[in-house]
Amino acid sequence: MKRRDFIQLAGLGTGAFMMPAFAMGRNVSPEAFLEKSVDAAVNKRLADAALNAAKSKGASYADVRIGRYLNQFVVTREDKVQNIVNTESYGVGVRVIANGCWGFAAVVDVNNEAQMAKAAEDAVAIAKANAKLMKEPVQLAPQKGFGEVSWKAPIKKNAFEVPIKEKVDLLLSVNDAAMKNGANYVNSVLFLVNEQKYFASTDGSYIDQDVHRIWPIFNVTAIDPKSGKFETRNALSAPMGMGYDYLQANPSDKITGVTTRYNKGYDMLEDATAAAKQAKEKLTAKSVEAGKYDLILDPSHLWLTIHESVGHPLELDRVLGYEANFAGTSFATLDKWQSKNFQYGSKQVNLIADKLQEGSLGAVGWDDEGVNTKKWDLVKEGVLVNYQAIRDQAHIIGEKESHGCCYADSWSSVQFQRMPNVSLAAGKTPLSVDDMIKDVKKGIYIIGDGSFSIDQQRYNFQFGGQLFYEIKDGKIAGMLKDVAYQSNTQEFWNSCVQVCDEKDYRLGGSFFDGKGQPSQSSAVSHGSSTARFNGVNVINTARKI
């Protein structure tokens, strides 16, 4: 699913213009989710049929992904349930190397070995047709087989097993709280994902994985009828690699302050109550005066800046030009990395790639080409030290093995390099947000993610937010609106002067990171503690039409 389709489905956009009838995939009844997934022995038999057929047709390598992808959406507005959607997608993707070239074929409605063999043969035929355009054959980093293994997301409560009624009741109570506290409208959505993935390759791996994700969101609108102006405030939740347990917040999961923010447990009702009041407050908030400010960025905001200005430019396929026709290339070129002294950020900046982080969206046991996942440095004390690479790229940066960050969003999509969780390490010196604010003379404290845009080489960016507070002489002086900041990636990260300690560390993330052609979505988390950036250019976004 693409970001825009999701926004339309969830009623978070303002209209459903040109919505394709089948944008949302397949729907199934709730009880289907509790049916046992396909047996691993059956998967192995089907996979072997494809692997053997590929080899007999001349493939030097083949992998098979048998996938069952389940989504559930509960969509509400005010006192109504608009939609309860269950989608299921089941099928197989076969990828091969033949004559040195990749080929891929996907099939739906699979139940026997002959179909698997046919898909493998189709993939080999495509590889051979394209090999004539190829000058350099694919080089795969060696990967040992793991035999028959499995991995399950460490969820405490499977959200798909929670009765629909419980979910509906939660969202309607959230909406009720928002309306009682001054909202004119409220939309809320609970979005659940379960990926049941079986991977097999000619390297001798048979990997069974069960991935879970959850994302509770809402959007509150407050309107001033006199002026016709409206303001919104979105949820401060994060999409997580967790079960329904994310919706049970303990006091230790809450970060209090100018507004409450959340760590590994989210209190949706409390946040909606605050959101309604804050949306109203925004209507009369001071419009920002454009200029240079010191920015204090909360993790609920900073994740998106990390995602766009660090996660994407350090994808090796972009650096090399594989995404030149769509997502773009990167300013972080190989010569900068080779110099060993490219100052990506200040000394305070340590950026880490991590596919193991518990509760994150990117955590799995093995990636979608059978590589065990790991954690590695991207930027160390401000210096660029590495990229994100998969099997057919590892040799380019002199690595002997893949980083394990290959992913496909469906059995029907071909897997390719995708962003692992990329996070800013917490500061090593004890520092709270309050202490950080105390030292700021003229600043803005930004909470929550808003509008975002960055150029195709990841230099120039502009970000908005949900809540903006003016800081004057070390104190919060009130709410601002119409705020967006513009900067350049290297300049911005070099203006980072402080990062709060690990007590403030939280994850944010994206369910719909888009890349590739045809475009694929990937879910990824970004952690950080609150951080301070000095002298950033802030613009005023108010206009009249």
- Which residues, numbered 410-429, are part of the site for other proteins (CB under 8 A)? 412, 414, 416
> Judged by CB under 8 A, which of 154, 321, 430, 478 binds other proteins?
321
**64 to 123, contacts with other proteins by CB under 8 A?**
80-82, 84-91, 101-109, 122-123
**112 to 171, contacts with other proteins by CB under 8 A?**
122-123, 125-126, 129-136, 164, 168
Residue 369 near other proteins by CB under 8 A: no
H or E element, residue 148: strand 147-152
Nearest to other proteins of 150, 338 (CB atom): 338
Nearest to other proteins of 250, 451 (CB atom): 451
- Are the C-beta atoms of 90 and 107 separated by less than 8 Å? no
- Are the C-beta atoms of 508 and 315 separated by less than 8 Å? no
The alpha carbon torsion through 55, 59, 63, 68 (nearest 10 deg) reads -80
Residue 331 near other proteins by CB under 8 A: yes
> Judged by CB under 8 A, which of 230, 277, 397, 534 binds other proteins?
230
Closest distance between other proteins and the C-beta of residue 198, in Å? Answer: 18
Distance CA 403, CA 58 (A): 28
Exposure string over 175-201, b if 16+ CB within 10 A, otherwise e = bebbbebbbbbbbbbbbbbbbbbbbbb
> Judged by CB under 8 A, which of 288, 389, 447, 454 binds other proteins?
454
- Are the C-beta atoms of 171 and 177 separated by less than 8 Å? no
Nearest to other proteins of 158, 184 (CB atom): 184
Counting every residue written for the chain, the total comes to 545
Nearest to other proteins of 41, 134 (CB atom): 134
Nearest to other proteins of 219, 360 (CB atom): 219
Residues 6+ apart with CB under 8 A from 440: 294, 296, 471, 474, 532
Nearest to other proteins of 308, 354 (CB atom): 308
Residue 229 near other proteins by CB under 8 A: yes
Residue 464 near other proteins by CB under 8 A: yes
Nearest to other proteins of 458, 532 (CB atom): 458
Residues 6+ apart with CB under 8 A from 264: 240, 242, 246, 253, 359
Identity of the amino acid at 530 = T
Residue 60 near other proteins by CB under 8 A: no
Alpha-carbon distance values, 482 to 285, 305, 465, 468, 511 (Å): 9, 18, 10, 9, 26
**207 to 226, contacts with other proteins by CB under 8 A?**
221, 223, 225-226
Alpha-carbon distance values, 303 to 37, 178, 350 (Å): 34, 26, 14
Stretch 9-48: interaction string toward other proteins, x if CB under 8 A: ----xxxxxxxxxx---xxxxxxx----------------
Stretch that binds other proteins, among 267-275, 336-344, 420-428, 455-463 (CB under 8 A): 455-463
**293 to 312, contacts with other proteins by CB under 8 A?**
none
